[in-house]
Amino acid sequence: MPLESLEIKAQIMRRGDTINGLADKWGFWPADLSKVINRRRGFVLLPIRKKLAKYLGVPVSEVGCEATPRKKAA
């Protein structure tokens, strides 16, 4: 089951980090990292998901959103 955004934010704070700090350290935009943490639909951003999952020590499937196949036009 995916981690809730509040759980992720709490873990980041417990480690003495911030979203802005991690984004700068990893070379991503803070807004993009925030979109992954908050599970915004349409923002899969796999490189950020992988980095965040490694940081948290969880599988990639537990952070962010999975890609969904597009529907074919009728």
Burial-class residue 2 by CB neighbours within 10 Å (0-12, 13-18, 19+).
Answer: middle
Integer distance in angstroms from the first to the last C-alpha of the chain?
A: 33
Predicted TM-score (pTM) of the model is 0.84
Question: Distance between CA 3 and CA 22 in Å, rounded?
Answer: 18
In a domain, 12, yes or no: yes
Alpha carbon 36 to its chain centroid, in Å, reads 3
pLDDT, residue 72, reads: 72
In a domain, 71, yes or no: no
Q: What is the pLDDT along the chain (74 residues), one digit of tens a residue?
A: 789 999 999 999 999 999 999 999 999 999 999 999 999 888 888 999 999 999 999 999 999 887 776 677 66
In a domain, 68, yes or no: no
pLDDT, residue 73, reads: 67
pLDDT, residue 65, reads: 83
Burial call 37-59: b when 16+ CB within 10 Å, e when fewer: bebbeebbbeebbebbbebbeee
In a domain, 72, yes or no: no
